[in-house]
Amino acid sequence: MSEREPRFHPIGMLPVIAELIDGYARDAATLLPDLRQVRSRPHVFDDATVDRVAAVYGEIGEMLLIFEEQLRRWGEEALTASQRAEVAQLFDQVLHLRPLVEEVLSLAAEIRKGTINRVMEKSDRELGLEALLRPDRC
């Protein structure tokens, strides 16, 4: 993300911010089960895919900080009851989303250690020894 100063918005942008947060939450909830499953088979990913996941979710993590500040600022304004309730709900959603983003980033880092790129860097000897020493072999 750039080093620009964030631009905060008037409360009229609440639906747009809500859609962004909801979308990030849906995307993380969709991606995490796949990453958890692939954790034991990281070779199905390549570096470029893992790098893209890490870049996108790194940016989302930075955006969460901006969303928190935006929501805090809105919370200090005179809002309608429905606006106040939505701001509170979105703040809770951002707090819930943060550990999901952190888990995506953690899994991406773990998976990156065993991508197909890492496998292809190994010699035939290394691969053979790993196959023989692997505890899950038949």
All domains in the chain, ordered by first residue: 11-133 (1.20.58)
pTM of the model: 0.83
On the question of pLDDT at 116 being above 70, the answer is yes
* pLDDT in the model for residue 103: 98
What DSSP string describes the chain?
---PPPPP--GGGHHHHHHHHHHHHHHHHHHHHHHHHHTT-GGGS-HHHHHHHHHHHHHHHHHHHHHHHHHHHHHTS---HHHHHHHHHHHHHHHHHHHHHHHHHHHHHHHHTTSHHHHHHS-HHHHHHHHHH-TT--
